[in-house]
Chain A
Amino acid sequence: MDENKRFSFREAITENPVLFQCVGLCSIIAGTSTLKDSLFIAVMIAADLIITCTLASLFFKKIPRYVRIALYLVIGLAIIYPVLWYIETRTLIEVSLGMRIIIPLIAVNSVTAVHCETYSVKHSVGSALADALSAAFGTALVAVICGTIREIIGKGTVGGYTLDMKFTMSTMSMPFGCLVLLGFLAAIIKALISLNRRSRNVSSETEAPEQPEEIDLGIEQSEAPETVDMIIADYDDIDSILSSTDEFLRSLNGYEDGGDEQ
């Protein structure tokens, strides 16, 4: 992996933790039925991810792994407790009962554990922070998109303001609605990546028509494996389960085709 990693909008989209790594799904599914809740969840996840990854990179490199994992929970609770306490003592802040249960669950969010274990504890603080920022931005973006669409279709409102909707679908407020939205978002991003790759291939063909045919064939053969392939692949140990998407993401980003990373 790149030691001097920088925040990348492209990475936040193409390596989205929720859509392609299937992590942090609980907070997104349970906590994004309205725009307001989703904004809250997005901010809390981002804070937890950025602070925990930075601390993990600074102090946790020599701590045994099983202790580190418990420390992520402790840090998460240390971030979340003051927020929950503030919400409870300030009656002006309206947070639903469900959200008061969902917010503490961010402390055991798999996005944080996966990013800390696969990246932060192996890299410098700057790189870990950049990785955390990318993951946080990607997760927050998905949360806000899901929250907005679910509130509009599920309740006929957006940010609490009533819209003139002819019909609403209460199923959108259920996990079903969120999962369907996640499916469409993942498909849209895959389509955009595919279009981008195709246009790059076309431009490289027009710019360098003298390229031997074997290289074209090589590019065809190095198509990104499907995510399900990646999920089904045999893992040697539990580290591989946590970092299971590396190979897929590398090919998705065009690393193997001489993409941006090279």
Chain B
Amino acid sequence: MKMISGLLITALYTVFVQNLVMTSGLGMSEAMRISPRPNTFVKLSVMISGFSTVTSILCNLIASRTATVESYAAKALIYGAVLASVYIAVAFIANIIVKDKEIIGILGIAALNTLVFAVPYINDSAAYSLFDCIGSGLGAGFAFVLAAALIGSGARVIEKNKYIPPIFKGTPAMFFYVAMISLGFVGFTGTQLF
């Protein structure tokens, strides 16, 4: 029970309190580019959850079975190798079973992005247990859904707004909008803003 509650608390913390997309900019490019397509970003978020959870579990198991790795360079190699192996295995299976070009294309974006690659580092620095790592991995995907949904809904409103000066239309207005949401999420972390 304690393990499950730990998992849920970590997941909720990752989604709402420390939304990795909004408070650190992890996976921000993918969230901004995919957000206008709800169907795609839901698929992408499920995949991000999957990849970050599996990668987190494997990295946690490797860390617990080997001598503690202190070097960040070595950590980068281990996490990168785990992530690349998981992605290649999933993409290979998907290529044989699903044969859907779109799904295989999304797999690449879902696996190899800064959000998924950063999750093992966060788990390591927070000294998460295995169940916390699962919660953190699942939370990363949900954090992406929340961020992409907020960005997508804002993009549609900005698109229709006729009062925005022409030079601020498009990406400038999007950046300002995302900056405001980001500031809101940073407020949840308890950081002093001014």
Tell me the A residues contacting B by CB distance below 8 Å.
19-20, 22-30, 64-67, 69-70, 72-74, 76-77, 80-81, 84-85, 87-88, 100-101, 103-105, 107-110, 113, 169-171, 174-180, 182-184, 186-187, 190-191, 194, 226-235, 237-239, 241, 244
Which of B3-11, B138-146, B155-163 faces chain A? B155-163
On whether A66 and B107 interact (CB within 8 A), knowing A22-B33, A81-B76, the answer reads yes
* Residues of chain A within 8 A of B36, CB atoms compared: 231-233
* Residues of chain B within 8 A of A74, CB atoms compared: 80, 84
Whether B37 lies near A235 (C-beta < 8 A) is: yes
Q: Which of B29, B105, B111, B117 contacts A237 (CB 8 A)?
A: B105
Whether B28 lies near A241 (C-beta < 8 A) is: no
Interface size class of B (residues with CB under 8 A): 35 or more
Q: Which of B33, B75, B115, B117 contacts A244 (CB 8 A)?
A: B33
Whether A228 lies near B169 (C-beta < 8 A) is: yes
Q: Which of A100, A191, A231, A234 contacts B155 (CB 8 A)?
A: A231
Whether B183 lies near A238 (C-beta < 8 A) is: no
Chain B binding surface SS class: helix
A66 and B168 CA atoms in complex are apart in Å by 37
Q: Which of B25, B111, B191 contacts A30 (CB 8 A)?
A: B25
Residue of A with least CB distance to B90: A66
Whether B29 lies near A26 (C-beta < 8 A) is: yes
**What are 22 residue pairs bridging A and B, where the CB atoms are less than 8 Å apart in the complex?**
A22-B33, A22-B174, A25-B29, A25-B32, A26-B27, A26-B115, A30-B25, A64-B95, A76-B80, A77-B76, A84-B72, A104-B79, A108-B116, A170-B194, A175-B25, A176-B183, A183-B173, A186-B170, A190-B166, A228-B169, A231-B36, A239-B105
On whether A238 and B101 interact (CB within 8 A), knowing A187-B167, A190-B167, the answer reads yes
Tell me the minimal C-beta distance from B62 to chain A in angstroms: 16
* Residues of chain A within 8 A of B75, CB atoms compared: 104
Whether B179 lies near A228 (C-beta < 8 A) is: no
Tell me the minimal C-beta distance from A37 to chain B in angstroms: 14
Interface residues of B in 92-143 (CB under 8 A from A): 92, 95, 101-102, 104-109, 111-118, 121, 125
Whether B32 lies near A22 (C-beta < 8 A) is: yes
Q: Which 8 A-B pairs have the closest CB atoms?
A: A238-B105, A29-B25, A227-B170, A183-B175, A179-B179, A84-B73, A104-B76, A226-B170
Q: Which of B72, B77, B180 contacts A101 (CB 8 A)?
A: B72
Q: Which of B23, B76, B166, B186 contacts A80 (CB 8 A)?
A: B76
A77 and B175 CA atoms in complex are apart in Å by 30
Whether A241 lies near B33 (C-beta < 8 A) is: yes
* Residues of chain B within 8 A of A171, CB atoms compared: 183, 193-194
